[in-house]
Every structure is written in C-alpha cells, then in structure tokens.
Amino acid sequence: MKFDKSNQLMPRFLATIPGGGHTYAKGADQYPESCAPFIVRGQGSHVWDVDGNEFIEYGAGLRAVTLGHAYKSVVDAAAAQMRLGANFVRPATIELECAEELLRFIPGADMVKFGKNGSDATSAAMKLARAHTGRDLVAVCAEHPFFSVDDWFIGSTPMPGGIPQTIRDLTVKFHFNDLPSVEALFTQYPGRIACLILEAEKDVPPAPGYLEGVQSLCKKNGALFILDEMITGFRWHNGGAQAYYKITPDLSAFGKAIANGFSLAALAGKREFMRLGGLDHDKERVFLMSYTHGAETHSLAASIATMKVYREEPVVETLWRQGERLAKGIQKAVSDCHLEGYFDVHGRPCNLVPVTCDETKKPSQPFRTLYLQETIKRGVLVGSLVINYSHSDSDIDRTVEAIHEALRVYRKALDEGVGKYLIGRPVKPVFRKFA
C-alpha cells in the first residue's frame, strides 16, 4: 500500500489541530509514521483512506460504531429527522420517545438525561453524587484508563496540566478486583467519599462477588455506586454489563454504541438521585446536563433506530460469536509463530484488545508499533480488535491471515531486534506529561 496523500496531509493536521486529531486516541503519535491513513469514508466493516486504500476496520470510532459504518436504517432515520429540524426552542417529542426506549433497555433506571459525550454523563454523575451526599471526594478505578475529559478525572492522570492541585486532590483511586483497597479508601477518608465509579469489566473480568462487594461497601458508607457503561453498554448485553452481571447501580453512564457513532450519551439512574436535576423536590437544585445540542434530534433518531436493530436482530450474540472466531484464529497464529507470552489477545470476545510484549515478555510500545505497521500494510486496522455487527466471516478470516503474516515479522523482530523491522519512531501512550 502507498500512503503518499496521507503523509502529505500529516504536517497540515499537526499545524492546525493540536496532536493531529480532535481525539487524542486517534492522534499522530498513536500510529506508525510510515502508515497513518486518513479516512474519507466507511461502509459496514470497511473504510477507505485518501490514497484509496481499503481496510477492514476494528477501531469502530473508539467502540462507538457497533452496527457498522453508515448503517442504512440508522442513517435513513437520522436523515429523515434532519429534514424536520435539528433543534428547537422547546423539547421535541422525540426526546421523550428516545428516553423511554432507552429506559426499556435499562430496567434498573427510572430517569435519563442526554448529552453529547461520555464525559457529559460521567461528570454529571459526579455532580449528582456530591450534591446528594454533601461530600467532596470521588473515587475512580485505577486500572480503568478513562472516565472524562473534565478536571475531576484528568487531574488524576499523568497528564494533569492546567488543573489546580486542589481539584486533583479531590479524586482518589481504588483497584479493580481488590475489595480491601475499596475498604481502605473508606477508612482513610471517613464520611468524605461521594461515590465510586468503575467499568464493570475492561479486559479482566470481575472476580466473583467483586461488583456486589463494591456496591455493598458503597451502601454501608453512604456513597453512590456508579457504572461507566460507555464500552460495555450495547456490547456485553442489550442492557449493558449491569444486565449481564445482574447488578443495579445507583447511576450509570452510556454512550458510544447508543447511536451507532452519532453523538449521543446518557446518564441513567434511580429517581431519588436524578430528580435533583429536576423540579419535583424541595432540595437545592443541581444544574444537570443542560447542553445546547444535548437533544439534537437526528442523533436521537439515530439512537432509536439503533435500539430497534438491537431489539429485532441478534446484534450482541453476533459480536460475541464473531469475536470468538477472531480470537481463535489469532491464537492459532500465535502458536504457529511460537509467540506465546509475547503476543496475546485479552478481553471478552465482543471487546478484544491486543497485547504486545518484547523479548523480556513485558509490554512494549515499539512492538505495538511494529504490529500496527505490519497489519496496516496488509489492509486491516486493528489497534483494537473490536467487532461490529457488519464483520463477516470472510472479514474475520482475512484479518486472521493478515495478523498471521504480521506475526511472522514480529517473530523475526524478537529474534533479530525490533529496530531492524520498525520504520520510524514508536507510538506513545496518550497519557504522558511531556511530548
């Protein structure tokens, strides 16, 4: 493949957009210098770049496109709604229609409010928790990499520039599958923690009783139990990980797959907490998720159409089945190339991630870059291995073939040195203090 046009565009992106992209995870430092394609269109599970290269794509807009790119029924619904108007001076009836439909998917929630980004929902959850409890500290799971672009979370990362220390000090951390770390926080900060937020699962499943234990500790200590369902929602189960694990949080945040890539997020929760942002109580009011574009009508139409597909078709079952097919094929390639311990895939079949290690079997950015370089050259974008509903058997088989070929190069690099095969600088973690 040739990437001449993409390479010519890169300096313009970097000169115009900080980081070279409007989302850091898609930025210039996240892909190999030699092959960082700029996308012009997508259809189903395939995308095309400015050079005309076609790729089988697994990033899915950071897991937001769960049905497939330009999915017809979703696009048609959004287009039809656009012709009726996108935004009005008063609520549109479609706001109620979408809210009621979402609550049918989340039986443990009583009320919902929409925003545009996941950060809108998680940050609103923090505000509700603080208002309800009168406390200032929030606790986040240390092993889960991202909860919000807002100060309360970014201040706790290795990239806290511009956030006052007083704000940074209000976020504390506990560890996944480690109930004693949760207990220790409540002991260290008695009566100060408003809530705990975590994903029900990332690439490691919760230990038996862990989620229930966290919920119990929250209840015992007067804190809210909040699930971030940005990734697990509409991927683990139609009702999210909370339905999969049969646990009901006080509040939960949804986004990404909720509208198949259209900009929509939602905070859903129990009435006793959500009503603080409303009119039917005598407590101090909370300014809760009030955005000019929060109820943009075509995004709501896209969400309703997306949920209709989930109700009528085996979307989640297909994600799991095709993910299992992909994982089995990759594991065979790993075995064939004698890469056990050096390359692996982690996570549930519906949300796989590659793990790249060096000759010492420790995680390696240079080897991740080599893996990306060799798979992109072979027509697949697999920074993550996230299935969408449009991935066919032939897509999976071709992907396994491409990864198998790439892993042969990976094996040589382990034996002869990664520098012999890697073109350009390695990729870098998003969260770092200096460029």
Position 60 scores a pLDDT of: 84
pLDDT in tens, 169-214: 999 999 999 999 999 999 999 999 999 999 999 999 999 999 999 9
Is 77 within the bounds of a domain?
A: no
- Residues of the domain holding 135: 87-295
- Residue 264 and residue 173 in one domain: yes
- Residue 136 and residue 255 in one domain: yes
Is 387 within the bounds of a domain?
A: yes
Contact 199, 141 (CB under 8 A): yes
Here the contacts of 189-193 (C-beta below 8 Å, separation 24 or greater) are 189/137, 191/135, 191/222, 192/135, 192/136, 192/137, 193/135, 193/137, 193/138, 193/139, 193/221, 193/223
Could you tell me which of 46, 81, 51, 82 has the C-alpha nearest to residue 65? 46
**287-294 mean pLDDT:** 94
CATH of the domain at 166: 3.40.640.10
**383-394 mean pLDDT:** 96
- Residue 13 and residue 66 in one domain: yes
Contact 100, 223 (CB under 8 A): no
| 274/108 Cα distance (integer angstroms) | 13
Contact 300, 264 (CB under 8 A): yes
- Residue 59 and residue 171 in one domain: no
Residue 421 has pLDDT above 90, yes or no: yes
**78-82 mean pLDDT:** 98
**DSSP-assigned beta bridge partners for residue 44:** 69
Could you tell me which of 276, 340, 304 has the C-alpha nearest to residue 100? 304
pLDDT in tens, 337-387: 999 999 999 999 999 999 999 999 999 999 999 999 999 999 999 989 999
Q: Diameter of the chain by CA atoms?
A: 70
- Residue 284 and residue 212 in one domain: yes
Position 139 scores a pLDDT of: 98
pLDDT in tens, 217-268: 999 999 999 999 999 999 999 999 999 999 999 999 999 999 999 999 999 9
Is 433 within the bounds of a domain?
A: no
Can you say whether the dihedral through the CA atoms of 407, 409, 414, 420 is positive or negative?
A: negative
- Residue 264 and residue 356 in one domain: no
- Residue 50 and residue 150 in one domain: no
Is 429 within the bounds of a domain?
A: no
Residue 83 has pLDDT above 90, yes or no: yes
Is 91 within the bounds of a domain?
A: yes
Q: What is the 3-state secondary structure (H, E, C) of 107-129?
A: CCCCEEEEECCHHHHHHHHHHHH
Domain boundary among 262, 295, 328: 295
Position 169 scores a pLDDT of: 98
| 308/319 Cα distance (integer angstroms) | 17
pLDDT in tens, 126-149: 999 999 999 999 999 999 999 999
Here the tokens at position 354 are 């590659």
Contact 223, 129 (CB under 8 A): yes
Can you say whether the dihedral through the CA atoms of 151, 156, 162, 166 is positive or negative?
A: positive
**DSSP-assigned beta bridge partners for residue 43:** 46
Torsion (CA) 198, 241, 148, 166 in degrees, nearest 10: -20
- Residue 161 and residue 239 in one domain: yes
pLDDT band at residue 433 using 50, 70 and 90 as cut-offs? confident
Position 435 scores a pLDDT of: 87
What is the percent of the chain where pLDDT is above 90? 97
Domain boundary among 244, 264, 295: 295
| 25/345 Cα distance (integer angstroms) | 19
In this structure, which amino acid lies at residue 25?
A
Q: Are strands 251-254 and 265-269 parallel, antiparallel or unpaired?
A: antiparallel
What is the average pLDDT score of the chain?
97
- Residue 219 and residue 338 in one domain: no
Contact 239, 245 (CB under 8 A): no
Domain boundary among 295, 329, 349: 295
What lies within 8 Å, CB to CB, of 246 at 6+ separation is none
| 149/407 Cα distance (integer angstroms) | 35
Is 80 within the bounds of a domain?
A: no
What lies within 8 Å, CB to CB, of 209 at 6+ separation is none
- Residue 280 and residue 172 in one domain: yes
Q: How many domains does the chain have?
A: 2
CATH of the domain at 341: 3.90.1150.10
Is 119 within the bounds of a domain?
A: yes
Length of the chain: 435
Q: Are strands 46-49 and 39-43 parallel, antiparallel or unpaired?
A: antiparallel
Position 92 scores a pLDDT of: 97
- Residue 204 and residue 240 in one domain: yes
- Residue 155 and residue 215 in one domain: yes
**31-57 mean pLDDT:** 97
In this structure, which amino acid lies at residue 123?
S
Is 329 within the bounds of a domain?
A: yes
